[in-house]
Chains A and B, each alone.
Chain A
C-alpha cells in the first residue's frame, strides 16, 4: 500500500491547495503592488523635507497619494482575481501560449545578464558580449557549435567597433584589445 492510498484526504487537499495557488498566482502581483505601496509610503513618511511657502505641496504629497493608490489597487486587483478575473497573457508571433512557462530559460537569461555586468570590467565588451549572445542563443535552442560562436563573436566585435569608434560611446575593450 502506498502512502497516498493510506491517507488520501490530506494529500488531495494539499494538491488542491497547490492547484488553487497556481491558478491564482496573479495574487503575487497584488502582493508586489502592496509591497510597493508600503515602500513608497514608508519612504515618504521618513523624509524630513516638508512643504514651504514657495512649494506648498512639498516633495511627499504625491508619493503619499501614490502609495495609497498602490495599496488600493492591490486590494482591487485581489478582489478581481478572487472573483475569477484574470489578466490575459500577451500573445505574439513567436509566443506559444498554453504551454507551461519555461522558467529555467528565463532564469538562465537573467543569470547571463548579471554575469555580463560582472564580466564587463574584467573582460571588456567584445568578450563579455560574445558570451552573452552565445549563451542566450544556446539557452533559446541554438545548437550548431562553430556557427553560433562565430555569429556571437562577429556581432559583439562589430557592435563594439561601431559604438566605441564610430559613435564615441566609451565601451571598455578589455585585455584582448591591448593585444592588437
Chain B
C-alpha cells in the first residue's frame, strides 16, 4: 500500500508538463537512436550528459529511461527490415523477423516486436515496482565489505560470462581500471598517473571517457571499414496482427519477461543472453517448430518482450544496489554521481520523489512508445536513408562539442581522441567495451570501499569475508571463474574416452 501511494505520487509528478516533455523527448530520441545504425543507447546517454547538466536530475533520468526503452523498440525495427542488428539486444529479432519481412510479413513482425516490447516493458517495470523496495530494505544495512564483494562480482561477471575470450575481457577491464586511476587519490591527495599535468589532477571526466570509448571509437572504427553501398531496408506497410497471429504471440509475450527481468538484473550483460534463451524456449514450445529459421512470429514476440523486461531488471539493480549490469546503466550511474546522488539501498529513502517519478514516467514512456512505434514504424524506417557520411560526421561533431562542454578546455578534445583511439583498438582486436566502462566507473568506488573496510577493521583482511553476503558473493565469483575450466576439462576427458572406445 505504501508502494502504491508512492507510485501514485510519482504519477502526479511525472504528469507535469515539463516531465511529460522529457518523457516524450526521451522516447522520440530513443526510437531514432535505436533505428539508426552506429548509435546505441549508451553512446546517446553519454553524448547527452553534458547537455543535461542544465536540467534537474529527475528530468534528466526520465529522458535517459525513455532513451533506453525507446532504443529497444527502434532497434528491432532495423533488425527486422535490414537484417543487420546494431544493438546486441536485437540480434535475435533479425533471426526470425528478417525472413518474415522478406516473405511479405514485415508488418506482422514489426507489430509482434512493438507489442512484445510494450508487454515486456510493462511487466518488467511492474517487477521493478514490486522488487526494488524489497531489495532496498534488505540491502539497507550492508557495509563496505559487501559492497566491495558485489563490485568484484560485477567485474568478474561482465568479463567472464560475456564474450568468447576471458583474457580479452579482463584486459578490457584492466584498461578501464587504469583510466579510472588517473587523478588525485581521494583519501590521501596523492597524485596518480597525472604525470604532472594539472588538467589530469581532477581525473579524466567520465563524460570524456564514455564519449571517447563509445562515440569516437565507433566513428573511427566505422570510418576504417565503411560499407560503401548501404543496405536498403525492406519496404513495409503499417504493422498489424491477424487473429491467428495474436493466438500465436500472446503466450511468448507473457513468457519473455520472466526470462528477461532476472537476467537484466544480474551482471550477465543485459539483453543478449535472455533474448537468446527466450528464442530457444519459444522454439521448443511452439506448435510450428518447422517455421523457425524461416520466419516464425513466436521467435520475434518472445525475445523482444524479454529484451524490454531485461531493461527494467537492469534499472532495478542499478537503482537499488548502485550496480550497473549494462553499458547504459554504467553511464546512467555516472550521471547520478555527477548530480551528487548515490544510487543504492538508501536511494528509495533519500530521493523518493526522484525514484517514483522516474518509475511512473517509465509506464508513461511505454505507452508513448507503443503509440509512436505501432502505427509509425515505416516512417521510422526512413531514418535509415540518412547519408552515412553525415551520420558519422554528426557523431564526431557532437562528441567533440560534448567533451568541450565539460570544462571548456581544448586539451579535453585531445584526451577524448586518445580514449577514442583506445576504443578503436578495442573494436579492432575484439576487446569488449562493457568491462572497460564498468572498470572506469566502478573502479574508483571499489578501491574506496576496500580501503574503507580495512580502515574500519584496523587493517585486518578477514573483515572482507566477515559477513554472510560477502562470503556468498565470493563463493559465486569462484564458481564463475572455475566452472568453465572444469567443464572444458570434462568435455575434453569425454572426447578422449570416446576416442579410446573407438580405438579399442
Chain A residues near B (Cβ < 8 Å): 26, 29, 32-33, 36, 39-40, 43-44, 47-49, 54-60, 62-63, 66, 69-70, 73, 76-77, 80, 85-90, 92-97, 99, 101-103, 105-106, 109-110, 112-114, 116-118, 120-121, 125, 129, 132-134, 136-142, 148, 151-152, 155-156, 159, 163, 167-171
Of A48, A62, A116, which is in contact with the most chain B CB atoms at under 10 Å from its CB?
A: A62
Taking the complex as formed, is B450 at the interface, i.e. its CB lies under 8 A from any CB of chain A? Answer: yes
A92 touches B37 (CB 8 A): yes
B54 touches A29 (CB 8 A): no
Chain B residues positioned under 8 Å from A90 (CB to CB): 221, 427-428, 430
Q: A106-B220, A125-B401, A159-B397 are in contact. Are A136 and B392 (CB under 8 A)?
A: yes
A106 touches B223 (CB 8 A): yes
B226 touches A163 (CB 8 A): no
Majority secondary structure, B binding face: helix
> Which of the 9-residue segments B3-11, B240-248, B312-320, B454-462 touches chain A?
B454-462
Chain A residues positioned under 8 Å from B393 (CB to CB): 132-134, 136-137, 140, 142, 152
Expressed in whole angstroms, the Cα–Cα distance for A102 and B226 within the complex equals 8
Chain A residues positioned under 8 Å from B167 (CB to CB): 73, 76-77, 80
Q: A113-B396, A159-B401 are in contact. Are A95 and B451 (CB under 8 A)?
A: no
Point out the residue from A43, A141, A163 that lies within 8 Å of B389, measured CB to CB. A141
Expressed in whole angstroms, the Cα–Cα distance for A42 and B78 within the complex equals 48
The 8 listed contacts between A and B (C-beta, < 8 Å) are A47-B190, A62-B450, A95-B221, A96-B225, A110-B417, A117-B413, A163-B51, A169-B405
Taking the complex as formed, is B165 at the interface, i.e. its CB lies under 8 A from any CB of chain A? Answer: yes
Interface residues in B370-388 by Cβ distance below 8 A to A read 387-388
Expressed in whole angstroms, the Cα–Cα distance for A30 and B167 within the complex equals 11
A59 touches B190 (CB 8 A): yes
Chain A residues positioned under 8 Å from B227 (CB to CB): 94-96
Q: A49-B188, A129-B397 are in contact. Are A96 and B220 (CB under 8 A)?
A: no
Q: A110-B417, A132-B400 are in contact. Are A55 and B187 (CB under 8 A)?
A: yes
Chain B residues positioned under 8 Å from A142 (CB to CB): 387, 389-390, 393
Expressed in whole angstroms, the Cα–Cα distance for A118 and B387 within the complex equals 28
A102 touches B223 (CB 8 A): yes
A63 touches B174 (CB 8 A): no
Chain A residues positioned under 8 Å from B170 (CB to CB): 69, 73
Chain B residues positioned under 8 Å from A59 (CB to CB): 185, 187-188, 190, 192
Point out the residue from B51, B193, B396, B420 that lies within 8 Å of A39, measured CB to CB. B193
Taking the complex as formed, is B338 at the interface, i.e. its CB lies under 8 A from any CB of chain A? Answer: no
Point out the residue from A56, A93, A148 that lies within 8 Å of B455, measured CB to CB. A56
Interface residues in B148-180 by Cβ distance below 8 A to A read 164-165, 167-168, 170-171, 174-175, 177-178
B225 touches A97 (CB 8 A): yes
Chain A residues positioned under 8 Å from B476 (CB to CB): none
Taking the complex as formed, is B115 at the interface, i.e. its CB lies under 8 A from any CB of chain A? Answer: no
A26 touches B429 (CB 8 A): yes
Point out the residue from B164, B417, B447, B454 that lies within 8 Å of A114, measured CB to CB. B417
Interface residues in B410-429 by Cβ distance below 8 A to A read 410-411, 413-414, 416-417, 420-421, 424-425, 427-429
Interface string of B311-351 (1 = CB under 8 A from A): 00000000000000000000000000000000000000000
Q: A55-B188, A129-B401, A140-B226 are in contact. Are A89 and B178 (CB under 8 A)?
A: no
Chain A residues positioned under 8 Å from B236 (CB to CB): none
Chain B residues positioned under 8 Å from A88 (CB to CB): 164, 430
Taking the complex as formed, is B398 at the interface, i.e. its CB lies under 8 A from any CB of chain A? Answer: yes
Expressed in whole angstroms, the Cα–Cα distance for A48 and B459 within the complex equals 20
Point out the residue from A29, A56, A96 that lies within 8 Å of B226, measured CB to CB. A96
Q: How far is the CB of B168 from chain A (nearest CB, A)?
A: 5
Q: A29-B171, A94-B226, A159-B397 are in contact. Are A113 and B416 (CB under 8 A)?
A: yes
Point out the residue from A76, A89, A94, A118 that lies within 8 Å of B230, measured CB to CB. A94
Taking the complex as formed, is B501 at the interface, i.e. its CB lies under 8 A from any CB of chain A? Answer: no
Chain B residues positioned under 8 Å from A86 (CB to CB): 429-430
B447 touches A118 (CB 8 A): no
Nearest B residue to A97 via CB reads: B225
Taking the complex as formed, is B394 at the interface, i.e. its CB lies under 8 A from any CB of chain A? Answer: yes
A56 touches B454 (CB 8 A): yes
Point out the residue from A94, A114, A136 that lies within 8 Å of B414, measured CB to CB. A114
Taking the complex as formed, is B431 at the interface, i.e. its CB lies under 8 A from any CB of chain A? Answer: yes
Q: How far is the CB of A109 from chain B (nearest CB, A)?
A: 6
Chain B residues positioned under 8 Å from A114 (CB to CB): 413-414, 417
Point out the residue from B38, B84, B174 that lies within 8 Å of A66, measured CB to CB. B174
Chain B residues positioned under 8 Å from A151 (CB to CB): 390
Taking the complex as formed, is B352 at the interface, i.e. its CB lies under 8 A from any CB of chain A? Answer: no
Q: 5 nearest interchain CB pairs?
A: A87-B430, A93-B37, A56-B459, A136-B393, A142-B389
Interface string of B433-455 (1 = CB under 8 A from A): 00000000000000100110011
B181 touches A40 (CB 8 A): yes
Chain A residues positioned under 8 Å from B192 (CB to CB): 43-44, 47, 59, 63
Point out the residue from B38, B53, B189 that lies within 8 Å of A92, measured CB to CB. B38
Q: A77-B167, A102-B224 are in contact. Are A117 and B178 (CB under 8 A)?
A: no
Nearest B residue to A57 via CB reads: B451
Chain B residues positioned under 8 Å from A80 (CB to CB): 165, 167
Instruction: Give 12 new A-B contacts, CB below 8 A, not counting A40-B181, A96-B226.
Output: A48-B190, A59-B187, A87-B428, A95-B226, A106-B224, A113-B396, A129-B400, A133-B393, A133-B397, A140-B388, A159-B398, A169-B54
Chain B residues positioned under 8 Å from A54 (CB to CB): 455
Q: How far is the CB of A150 from chain B (nearest CB, A)?
A: 12
B225 touches A29 (CB 8 A): no
Q: How far is the CB of B455 from chain A (nearest CB, A)?
A: 6
Expressed in whole angstroms, the Cα–Cα distance for A87 and B429 within the complex equals 5
Taking the complex as formed, is B292 at the interface, i.e. its CB lies under 8 A from any CB of chain A? Answer: no
